[in-house]
Amino acid sequence: MLSGSKIRKRGAGLVRSLASRLSSPRDEALVSAAEASYVLVTGQKPKVGISTRQEPHVDRGAFRRAESAIDAGDAERAIAGVDQLYRDYPGSVRVLRLRRGVLQRTGDLRGQAAMLHEIHRLDDSPETRLSERRVLGRLNEMTPGWLPRIPGRQPVTPEADNVILHLNKESSPYLTTGFTMRSRYNLIAARDAGLRPVIVTALGFPRLLGITSFPAMEIVDEMPHYRLDLGPNYPLDRPMDQILEDQAWLTARVARQVRPAIIHASSGHRGFEHALIGLALRDHIDRPLVYEVRSVFEASWASDADWAEAGDQYQLRFDTETRTMRAADHVLVISEVMRDELIERGVDPARLTVFPNAIDPEVFSPRPPDPALQARYGINGHYTFGYVSQIDHPREDHELLMDATRELRRRGRRVRCLIIGDGKRRAELERYAKRTGAAKDVVFTGHVPHDEVASHYALLDAFVVPRKDERAARMVTPLKPYEALAMARPMVIADLPPLREIANPEERGLAYTPGDLDGLASALERLMDDPELAQRIATQGHDWVVRERRWAANGAILRDVYKDVLERWAARQNAA
């Protein structure tokens, strides 16, 4: 969220940029739609034209105290201060913007829309119009019953029962993440099981990565990948409902061409957006939808744990995700605990299948550490533990890893912590390491190419999954622990349900209470002091994951699910 000071700093250059982007007839239509929404919500017509009003004088001390509360993350004090300013100065755009900032912090989308409407009545600038339209777009996509509009119905006769249209947000070779690797291995498994996957990635991918030259369709791993693109001048930061509608139109064009038997939508950036497109596409081409739920995203809108699972935005996301799950013809989930959650949310158990993360034993297999890598990172002669992940979200609790490093050094242990990966929180974590005195014993590798990841696992005497106890961590089994087990790395996990599924504590790993520094340090000391224990859980973990969690087995799961979906779909069609 913007800090209090940034909320009130708006540059003239940005306004000119926004004005230039609101010049097309289509964008003017968006603004008109937003204005119609104002009338429906308030019963008043928005003020037109740039206001010549004068900003009222606001108590500087009260304003700064409210700003400081926002900057400090003290939402309760910020709400109280801003609400008082709002009562005292209802005609101040500065106060309205500050109040909108607090509502962003607390996830109150409806409140933000109301504040932006009031700002718009006082300041009819292009920036205000677009901000309002964006919030309305987010509300629109989460309105019960809303789907992106695809004109008309054009049922297709499948080219063959094994042609499957996959709606993915991203893919290799342009991006290497847990999401894209899961997609790639499962698509290869599907292909090898006799299926014919056709992949469509999200509108704007890979242009959003800064890649400007790419084909509209390319073959990756012997499978066609369609890139939806409207050129460099298409604003990919436009309202979300409009992005989804444009993406749906473009996806429908591909669907009519490839004539799939089944639509398979996987979780998007907000979770439900590809399922919404899949449902609209199901109505358009008259083919069933399988929804692959890879995580729960309703709490991912905020990094502040105090607000992530509360408020308007959380509930709207939760409700939208639930309605898409219930509407799909079949739902795939990545863990047993997630399956239980979806049953509680009203999804028919007969339409639920666990479709787990897995490994390729030819890529991830036990090997000795590379002495050159050990020398590069300065870990020779040290007991080395660490984690492999993107450094993007506080849920991963890299801070606890660094605290454990410092605690083990205090106990006289010769240790190094290796944080393998990169992401937007890296600089913040490096500052934390310096501030706490852990920096000399913590090594950040930065980005590691996918074909070098296995050699980095081999550097670890223990692999730690230090997740916090929050919603996604209680539901999602991440990919990296499976890879660590395949590498025969002794594992320590935060004691959370999906991680327990993987480690089965004391059999394939040790567990500690999430957030418990002494518990984590003590678990690592058990492995240091008992090599036989470390070897036993490493061997048992390796044997289990190679036996039970191979990507190749997922191909058979998909084949069986698709067969069942098509049989039920045909039965309904015949009964209609």
pLDDT in tens, 220-278: 999 999 999 999 999 988 999 999 999 999 999 999 999 999 999 999 988 899 999 99
What secondary structure does DSSP assign to 409-448, as a single string? HHTT--EEEEEEB--TTHHHHHHHHHHHT-GGGEEEEE--
Cβ 259 vs Cβ 158: under 8 Å: yes
Residues 237 and 263 placed together within one structural domain of the fold: yes
Calpha distance 410→152 (Å, rounded): 69
Which residues span the domain enclosing 61? 4-141
Report the chain's mean pLDDT, rounded to a whole number: 89
For residues 151-181, one letter each, b for 16 or more C-beta atoms within 10 angstroms of the residue's C-beta and e for the rest, the string is eeeeebebeeebbbbbbbbbbbebbbbbbbb
pLDDT > 90 in the chain, percent: 74
Number of domains, the chain: 3
Residues 28 and 66 placed together within one structural domain of the fold: yes
Peptide bond between residue 206 and the one before it cis (omega within 30 degrees of 0) = yes
Q: At what angle do helices 60-71 and 93-105 cross, to 10 degrees?
A: 20
Calpha distance 241→247 (Å, rounded): 10
Residue 156 counted as domain residue: no
Q: What are 70-121's pLDDT values in tens digits? A: 888 787 888 899 999 999 998 999 999 999 988 888 888 899 999 999 999 8
Calpha distance 339→332 (Å, rounded): 9
Q: Return the closest-CA partner of residue 93 out of 19, 171, 9.
A: 9
**CATH code for the domain in which residue 96 is found:** 1.25.40
Residue 563 counted as domain residue: no
Residue type, 115: M
In 208-303, DSSP assigns E strands to 217-220, 223-227, 262-266, 289-293
In 267-380, DSSP assigns E strands to 289-293, 330-333, 352-354
Residues 493 and 391 placed together within one structural domain of the fold: yes
Residues 63 and 203 placed together within one structural domain of the fold: no
Q: What are 481-536's pLDDT values in tens digits? A: 999 999 999 999 999 999 999 999 999 999 999 999 999 999 999 999 999 999 99
Single residue among 354, 386, 418 that ends a domain in this structure: 354
Residue 151 counted as domain residue: no
Q: Which structure tokens are listed for 75?
A: 């939402």
Q: What are 336-394's pLDDT values in tens digits? A: 999 999 999 999 999 999 999 999 999 999 999 999 999 999 999 999 999 999 898 88
Residue 157 counted as domain residue: no
Residues 214 and 116 placed together within one structural domain of the fold: no
Mean pLDDT of 130-150: 93
pTM across the whole model: 0.85
Instruction: Give the CA distances from residue 186 to residues 129, 297, 355, 433, 442, in Å, rounded to whole numbers and listed in that order.
Output: 43, 22, 10, 37, 34
What are the backbone dihedrals phi and psi of residue 152, each rounded to the nearest 5 degrees, phi first? 75, 170
Task: Tell me 44's DSSP state.
Answer: S
Residues 114 and 196 placed together within one structural domain of the fold: no
Q: What are 388-438's pLDDT values in tens digits? A: 998 988 889 999 999 999 999 999 999 999 999 999 999 999 999 999 999
The pLDDT assigned to 52 comes to: 52
Q: Which structure tokens are listed for 154?
A: 């054009």
In sequence order, the 6+-apart residues with CB closer than 8 A to the CB of 496 are 467, 469, 473, 474, 514
Residue with tokens 């492999």: 388
Residues 181 and 277 placed together within one structural domain of the fold: yes
Cβ 295 vs Cβ 178: under 8 Å: no
Calpha distance 551→355 (Å, rounded): 10
CB atoms within 10 A of CB 213: 6
Residues 404 and 437 placed together within one structural domain of the fold: yes
Q: At what angle do helices 126-141 and 25-42 cross, to 10 degrees?
A: 70
Residue 153 counted as domain residue: no
The pLDDT assigned to 9 comes to: 40
The pLDDT assigned to 450 comes to: 86
What are the backbone dihedrals phi and psi of residue 178, each rounded to the nearest 5 degrees, phi first? -60, -35
Single residue among 354, 383, 410 that ends a domain in this structure: 354
Residue 568 counted as domain residue: no
CB atoms within 10 A of CB 15: 14
Instruction: Give the CA distances from residue 174 to residues 180, 207, 231, 236, 420, in Å, rounded to whole numbers and listed in that order.
Output: 9, 10, 18, 18, 20
Residue 554 counted as domain residue: no
Cβ 554 vs Cβ 187: under 8 Å: no
Q: What are 16-39's pLDDT values in tens digits? A: 333 333 334 444 444 455 454 544
Residue 266 counted as domain residue: yes
Helix/strand/coil for 176: coil
Calpha distance 233→27 (Å, rounded): 13
Q: Return the closest-CA partner of residue 495 out of 467, 472, 475, 470.
A: 467
Residues 183 and 131 placed together within one structural domain of the fold: no
Q: Do the strands 491-494 and 352-354 form a parallel or antiparallel pair, or are they unpaired?
A: unpaired
Q: Return the closest-CA partner of residue 420 out of 394, 383, 450, 440.
A: 450
Cβ 407 vs Cβ 436: under 8 Å: no
Q: Return the closest-CA partner of residue 482 out of 398, 342, 353, 363.
A: 363
Q: Return the closest-CA partner of residue 131 out of 144, 110, 116.
A: 116
Residue type, 153: R
Residues 204 and 331 placed together within one structural domain of the fold: yes
**CATH code for the domain in which residue 456 is found:** 3.40.50.2000
Residues 172 and 280 placed together within one structural domain of the fold: yes
Q: Which structure tokens are listed for 270?
A: 């907000």
Residues 342 and 263 placed together within one structural domain of the fold: yes
CA angle (419 as vertex; 416, 420 as ends), nearest 5: 125
The pLDDT assigned to 42 comes to: 47
Dihedral of CA atoms 155, 158, 163, 166 in degrees, nearest 10, equals: 0
